[in-house]
Amino acid sequence: MALISLRGWRFCASRCAGMTLSKSFMGGQRKAPRGGSPGGSTRMPRARVKCQYVLCRNSHVPVRIQSVPAGETVPLCGDAGNGRVPDDRWMDEQVFFGKLKGLDTSREVFEFLSSVEMMSDTMASAALQRISEVEVDDRGLKDSDVFRALCFQFEYESSKLSNTGLLSALQALIKLRVDPRGSLIAKLLSEGQERLGKGQLTTQNLCDFGEALLELEGPASVILEQILSHLQEKDIAKCGPSELVAVYRMLQRSAGEGKQYQDLLNRVNHVTLSVASQLSPRFLSTVLNSLVVLRQTQAVSLVIALCKHSVKHVPYFTDHELVSVLEAFLYFGHRQQVFTEALEMHIPKSLRAMRPEAISTVMKYCCQKRILSKPILDAVAEVLSSGADGFTTEQIAECLMPFGTLNYLPPSAPLLFGKLEGVLRTRFGQFRPHTLLNLLHSCVLVQRYPVNFLAKIFNPYFLQQLQGKGHYFCLFVTSQLTQLFLTATLECPFYEGPKLLPKYQVKFQPGSSLDVHLLNRVKTGLLYLLKKRIYFASEVSTPYFYTVDIEIKLDEEGFVLPAAQCEEVHRRLALCIDGQNRFCINSHHLLGEEAIKQRHLKLLGYEVVQIPFFEIETLNNCRKMAKYLCKKIFPHAYGLRC
C-alpha cells in the first residue's frame, strides 16, 4: 500500500496548453495557444506533452507517495508536510469509505477529496471508483484539479501502488472512458503485466485485472490468456465468497460457455456449494447469472442450493438481481413453492417502485411455470392499468400474456383491457409481429376479443411480416392464427372483416399437454364399461381443427354407436382427459389453451365431458374406473347399467 499526498497541488490551466484529456472529464482536447507563453517560449517542451496527464510541474509541489505496510490503517493528514497529524483530523479507511459511499455526485466526491491532504492508494482508488459509479454527464467532473492530481500520481508512482490500488484505479479509469491509448492507462497496464509475470497477483487481483482487460481489449486479449492460466493454478478451496464471485464473473465474460475451463469451473462450483448459505443477495444473483451464461446444467446440487437460499433474500434483491435469479429459475427449470410464497409477500407491496423489466420478468416466470398467483397478477394488472406508458411494447406483452395462459381475469380487468386497447391504438406499429400475435391470442383465451385489430392480423402484409426471412410459418404461429380465426367465427359473429386464408389454417395438435398414461387408464376403464373397443375412438381429428382426446357417439335414444359410424349420430361426446399439464401448477384451475378448446368444442356441437386427473388419480382398478366413467359420461344411464 502507498500513501498519497495531495498537499500543495495548485493547477494552472493556462500553463498546460499541450495536455490532452479524456472527453469524459474535460469535454474534449485542448489545443496549444498560438501566442507565446509569458516566459517567451512559443512551444512546450516535448516531455510535457507526450503523456496524457503531464501537468505544469514547475507550478506545483512534488507528489509524495510513501510505502505503508499492507493492512495498516492510514490516517488522512491535515498537515502532510511536517509528519504531525492533529488529533481531530484522524480518520481510518473504513470511515473514509463510509463517507465516500454517501456521496452522490462527482462534484461532492471532489469537494470531499479536496479536504483530504493524504490518503492511501486504496482510498484514492476507491474515490476513482466512486466517481465512475456516479458520473453520468455530471459537469462537476470537468476541470477538476483533484482528479488530475490523482491521475498524475497513479501514473508516475505506479510501482509503489498496492495490487488492489493499482487494479481498482485501472478499472475506474476505464469506466470513466479515459483514453485507452494514453500514457496513464499504458503505465498501469504495464505495471499490472509485470506483477502478473512475477506471480504477485492474488485470485481477486487476477480477476480484477482480467475484467479491466476485457473492457479494453475484449476476449481476444493475449494477457487474458495468461491471467486464466494463473487462475487455474490457484487453490480455489482457499477462496472466500467475494473471490469466488470474481472468478465466476471473469469466466462468464471471457470463456463463453466455459468448456475450455470446465475443470476450473468444477472446482469453483464445488467450493461455492459449501458457502452457498453465506452469499449475499448480490453475490447469489451474480453466481446464478454466471451459471446460466456458462450453461452449467450439470451443477444441479449447486443450483438447487442457490435457489433454496434465494428465498430469504427476496425482499432484499435489487430489480436487476431479482431478474437474474428469476431467469436462472427459468433456465434450469427450477421452481419452489416457498419462493413463490416469498414473491407473493414482497412483490405486491413493492411493485410500484419496481422497474418494468423486473415486473415483466416476474410475470414471465409465473407464466412459464404455470403459477396462478392472484396477489401478483392482481397487483400487476393495477399497475398496468395506470402506468402502462412507462413499459415497452415487449414488456406490456410479457405482463399481459400470463392472464391468457393462466386463464385468469383480475378484478381490474375492464380497466386493464381498456388500457390495452388504448395502447394498441397509439403504439400498434411499435409491436413486433410475433409479439402482437402472442398478445392478441392471449386476449381471446380469456374471452377478450380484439375485434378492432383482427383485420390487421389477417392482412396479407402482416402475415408476410410474420413469415420473416425464412418464408415459412412454424406450427405454433399457424395454430395461433387458426385459433384467432375460430374465435372470430364462433364467438364474434358480428365480425365482418377479412378472414384467415385457408392455407394458414391448421389442425391443433395435443402435443405435450396430453397425459398418455392417464389417457390409457381411461381407455382401459371404457373398455371394461363398453365391452368393445369399437364404441369409442381416441385422439380424433375433427373437421374443426381440434383433436378430441376420446370421442363417443350416441344415437337419438342415447345408445352408444360404433365410433366409425357416421349415420344416425345424434350426439357427440368429447372426453377431455385433463392431466396435470393442463392446469395451473398445484391447482385445479384449467389453463387458457384447454379452456378455449373446450369452449369451442361446445360451440361446435360437442358435449364436453371433462375428466380431470384429480378425480381419477385414486381409482386404482378397472372396476372403479368404469363405475366413475359411467356416472360421469352417462349420468342418466343411457342404455347402460353402472
pLDDT digit string (tens) for 163-188? Answer: 888 888 888 888 878 888 888 888 88
Position 627 pLDDT exceeds 80: yes
Same domain (yes/no): 410, 454: yes
Query: Cβ contacts of residue 63 below 8 Å, gap of 6+?
Result: 4, 5, 9, 149, 152, 153, 156, 157
Same domain (yes/no): 125, 26: yes
Domain boundary among 504, 527, 546: 504
Q: Is residue 519 part of a domain?
A: yes
Q: Is residue 568 part of a domain?
A: yes
Residues 391 and 372: their CA atoms lie apart, in Å, by: 23
Position 300 pLDDT exceeds 60: yes
Give residue 642's pLDDT: 52
Q: Print the SS3 string covering 567-578.
A: CCCCEEEEEEEE
Give residue 513's pLDDT: 81
Domain boundary among 478, 504, 530: 504
Question: How many Cβ atoms from other residues are within 10 Å of residue 476's Cβ?
Answer: 13
Q: pTM score > 0.95 for this model?
A: no
Q: Say if CB 44 and CB 52 are below 8 A apart.
A: no
Q: Is residue 279 part of a domain?
A: yes
Question: How many Cβ atoms from other residues are within 10 Å of residue 257's Cβ?
Answer: 14
Closest among 611, 617, 615, 618 to 526, alpha carbons compared = 611
Give residue 372's pLDDT: 96
Position 413 pLDDT exceeds 90: yes
Least confident range from 101-105, 109-113, 434-438, 498-502: namely 109-113
Q: Give the pLDDT band of residue 470 (cuts 50, 70, 90).
A: low
Q: Is residue 47 part of a domain?
A: yes
pLDDT, average across residues 532-555: 93
Position 584 pLDDT exceeds 60: yes
Q: Is residue 208 part of a domain?
A: no
E strand or H helix at 100: helix 93-101
Amino acid identity for residue 524 in this structure: T
Classify residue 71 by burial, with Cβ atoms within 10 Å: 0-12, 13-18, 19+. Answer: exposed
What are residue 612's DSSP bridge partners? 578
Q: Is residue 601 part of a domain?
A: yes
Q: Say if CB 599 and CB 593 are below 8 A apart.
A: no
Q: Is residue 641 part of a domain?
A: no
Residues 232 and 25: their CA atoms lie apart, in Å, by: 38
Half-sphere exposure of 55 (CA within 13 A, CB side): 25
Q: Say if CB 626 and CB 525 are below 8 A apart.
A: yes
Query: Cβ contacts of residue 17 below 8 Å, gap of 6+?
Result: 30, 31, 32, 33, 37, 44
Same domain (yes/no): 446, 590: no
Residues 558 and 639: their CA atoms lie apart, in Å, by: 7
Position 604 pLDDT exceeds 70: yes
Residues 502 and 541: their CA atoms lie apart, in Å, by: 17
Closest among 530, 533, 522, 527 to 559, alpha carbons compared = 530
Percentages (nearest 5) of helix, strand, coil residues in the chain:
60, 5, 35
Question: How many Cβ atoms from other residues are within 10 Å of residue 539's Cβ?
Answer: 14
What are residue 353's DSSP bridge partners? none
SS3 485: helix
Same domain (yes/no): 81, 171: yes
Same domain (yes/no): 583, 556: yes
SS3 541: strand
- Structural domain range at position 428: 350-504
Same domain (yes/no): 378, 455: yes
Question: How many Cβ atoms from other residues are within 10 Å of residue 413's Cβ?
Answer: 15
Question: How many Cβ atoms from other residues are within 10 Å of residue 86's Cβ?
Answer: 10
Amino acid identity for residue 267 in this structure: R
Closest among 346, 406, 322, 416 to 371, alpha carbons compared = 406
Same domain (yes/no): 371, 280: no
Domain boundary among 447, 473, 504: 504
Residues 549 and 121: their CA atoms lie apart, in Å, by: 73
Closest among 260, 320, 270 to 295, alpha carbons compared = 260
Q: What percent of the chain has pLDDT over 90?
A: 54
Residues 549 and 606: their CA atoms lie apart, in Å, by: 13
C-alpha cell of 103? 456521496
pLDDT, average across residues 428-441: 94
Residues 231 and 204: their CA atoms lie apart, in Å, by: 10
Total count of domains within the chain: 4
Q: Say if CB 227 and CB 264 are below 8 A apart.
A: no
| CATH code, domain carrying 626 | 3.40.960.10
Write down the H helix ranges in 332-372.
337-350, 356-368
Query: Cβ contacts of residue 546 below 8 Å, gap of 6+?
Result: 507, 508, 597, 600, 601, 604
Query: Cβ contacts of residue 559 below 8 Å, gap of 6+?
Result: 638, 639
Position 11 pLDDT exceeds 50: no
pLDDT tens, residue by residue, 76-133:
233 333 333 444 444 567 888 888 888 888 778 778 877 776 777 778 778 777 887 7
Same domain (yes/no): 372, 426: yes
Same domain (yes/no): 396, 252: no
Q: What percent of the chain has pLDDT over 70?
A: 80
Least confident range from 6-15, 54-63, 242-251, 572-581: namely 54-63
Same domain (yes/no): 164, 35: yes
Same domain (yes/no): 472, 522: no
Q: Is residue 343 part of a domain?
A: no
C-alpha cell of 355? 422497474
Same domain (yes/no): 499, 523: no
> What string of DSSP letters covers 569-635?
--EEEEEEEE-GGGB-TTSSPBPHHHHHHHHHHHHTT-EEEEEEHHHHTT--SHHHHHHHHHHHH-T
